[in-house]
A and B are shown apart, each in its own frame.
Chain A
């Protein structure tokens, strides 16, 4: 509860804290140095096809990690296993000493049309996770309103999801994931069903959320430019059984902008990732 309040305050004071949040990230204490998620010996098979075989991975805390890899290599399966939506055959997934049930997670699905509840107004969709946590209605309202105001969302939240555009629906599902102030936010190709203009807008929203909350974000993306642009780390996976082809660091300052896309470090990092990817796909 206490940690949650701090996160909320950070959300509420937003950009004013931006500089200090960055500074805190830069001089990370020992807690931040410990991985947020530790995966050891993870094994997952579908029928007889091995998707993960003795797989190890550390997800650093407070970083935005992009996951990139060939189609069907197991990106969704990986985040689903971490989120507890898919079981695994062997190995362990640890959350810095906590059990899975003790960790608040947010999850944003690619298919917002099927992920939102069409029988609830957008406002109630966003508040639903709080309802599950038995938060009383007035507080639910207040927290939802605060989040909406903070994100500066200009959507009529009294509408039903099917009355909103695709981008608006995805924004609603992102807010539904954020409302519980999760420690980790997973997004599985969240923008791939949106048009280009909306995608650009949503990337900026996500970056802003990340800067302001400093939570750990895992973003599965099939767009390499997006994956690098948003990330602190780019996890490149091979074909299944998936190995870590590379775990690239991209430390460009935030907030990033169009200028970032033409900077040398961005171009080089992207080129390197593409190189690794092509080698993996061919090999």
Chain B
């Protein structure tokens, strides 16, 4: 009995949060202008997502995040494999990678604005830049940390260097690659949303949050925040499901 209810445990926190929220509104603990009721917020979320402007913004943000992550993956995965296949090679560029990985991507906006102007190109390229470094770092480490015994096993069976790379290192690095992709897509989303707020944008979730705040439309603002949260959570979940399907040996 106890165990059958276990899958419902995550619901407890959600219900608790909503109850607390209702309570805060009901007893006027927080200024109702700053914190609308859950009902008003979810109404805004529902009507916005089903045919309203919020739905369009959501799609725009998904699109930008997906494109930037895809660009990052296409560049960073092969490069990461290449750099990771030789530890000396990676060591020689490690500082540069770590340096830019540690640089807040938002600090790159002015530079990319000069390069690409105000538009999707800038947003997407900054997000791709940030995500690529995260993915690159993880892929390279995944390749470098390939189990030594497994490489020796392939070698003693007569595998060429290329075969070892393709048949062993590549697959060995997959779990770590997925860690990189998950972190990369999260970072891309953060960068895209920030860019949509402040870099002359006419759509996207960031724009929606910002505009709602300017217009003091609080239910709308909270609705957009929740939509962004759901998006981030959903993307992470998506990668976990894909990983479980294709990297079934991960952690075993």
Q: Which residues of A contact B (CB under 8 A)?
A: 83-85, 105, 107, 109, 111, 114-119, 128-129, 132-133, 160, 162, 176, 180
Contacts and interface: CB of A to CB of B under 8 A. Distances in A.
A119 B172 CA distance: 9
Contacts of A132: 157-159, 163
B249 A109 contact: no
B158 A111 contact: no
Interface size grouping (class) on chain B: 20 to 34
B158 A85 contact: no
B190 interface: no
B171 interface: yes
18 contacts: A83-B156, A107-B153, A107-B156, A107-B157, A109-B149, A114-B148, A115-B153, A116-B153, A117-B167, A118-B252, A119-B174, A128-B167, A129-B157, A132-B159, A133-B158, A162-B249, A162-B252, A180-B157
A232 B196 CA distance: 76
Mostly helix, strand, loop or mixed at chain B's interface?
A: helix
A19 to B, nearest CB: 33
Nearest to B153: A115
A85 B148 CA distance: 11
Nearest to B250: A118
Which 8 A-B pairs give the minimum distances between C-beta atoms? A118-B249, A114-B149, A162-B252, A129-B157, A107-B156, A114-B147, A115-B153, A119-B171
B158 A129 contact: yes
Contacts of A111: 149
Interface in B163-178: 163, 167-168, 171, 174
Interface of B: 147-150, 152-153, 155-159, 163, 167-168, 171, 174, 247-249, 252
Nearest to A104: B158
B167 to A, nearest CB: 8
Contacts of B168: 117
Contacts of A109: 149, 152-153
A85 B155 contact: yes
Contact of B152 (A85, A118, A160): A85
Nearest to B247: A119
Contact of B149 (A84, A115, A129): A115
Contacts of B149: 109, 111, 114-115
A105 B249 contact: no
A270 B147 CA distance: 37
Nearest to A119: B171
Interface centre among A117, A160, A162, A180 (most CB of B within 10 A): A117
Interface centre among B147, B150, B163 (most CB of A within 10 A): B150
Contacts of B158: 129, 132-133
Contacts of B247: 119
A111 to B, nearest CB: 5
Contacts of B147: 114
A160 B249 contact: yes
